[in-house]
Structure 1
Amino acid sequence: MLKDKWIPILLLVLLGLLQHRLWFGKNSMVDYNELKHEVHRQSLQNANLAQRNALLEADIDDLKIGLEAIEERARNELGLIKKDETFYRILPADQ
Structure 2
Amino acid sequence: MLKGKWLPIVLLLFFGLLQYRLWFGKNSIPDYYSRKAEVKTQALQNANLSQRNALLNADINDLKIGLEAIEERARNELGLIKQGETFYRILPADTK
TM above 0.5, yes or no, is: yes
Q: Which amino acid aligns with 2:59?
A: D
Q: How far apart in 1 are the matches of 2:6 and 2:17? A: 16
Q: Which amino acid aligns with 1:89?
A: R
Please give the root-mean-square deviation of Cα atoms over the aligned residues, in Å.
Answer: 2.4
Residue by residue, what CA displacement relative to the aligned partner does 1:45-84 show, whole Å, maximum 9, x if unpaired?
Answer: 1111111011011011111111211210221233232466
Shift of 1:91: 5.7
Aligned length, in residue pairs: 94
In structure 1, list runs of 5 or more residues that go unmatched.
Answer: none
In structure 2, list runs of 5 or more residues that go unmatched.
Answer: none
TM-score computed with the length of structure 2 as normaliser: 0.77
Q: How far apart in 2 are the matches of 1:72 and 1:23? A: 69
Query: Which residue of the partner structure matches residue 20 of structure 2?
Result: 20
Identity of matched residues, %:
78
Residue by residue, what CA displacement relative to the aligned partner does 1:14-48 show, whole Å, maximum 9, x if unpaired?
Answer: 10111111111112222222222212211211111
Shift of 1:85: 4.6
Q: How far apart in 1 are the matches of 2:43 and 2:21? A: 29
Deviates more, 1:19-28 or 1:73-82: 73-82
Bigger helix share: 1
Q: How far apart in 1 are the matches of 2:89 and 2:23? A: 82
Extract structure 1 runs of 4+ deviating beyond 6 A.
none
Q: Which amino acid aligns with 2:56?
A: L
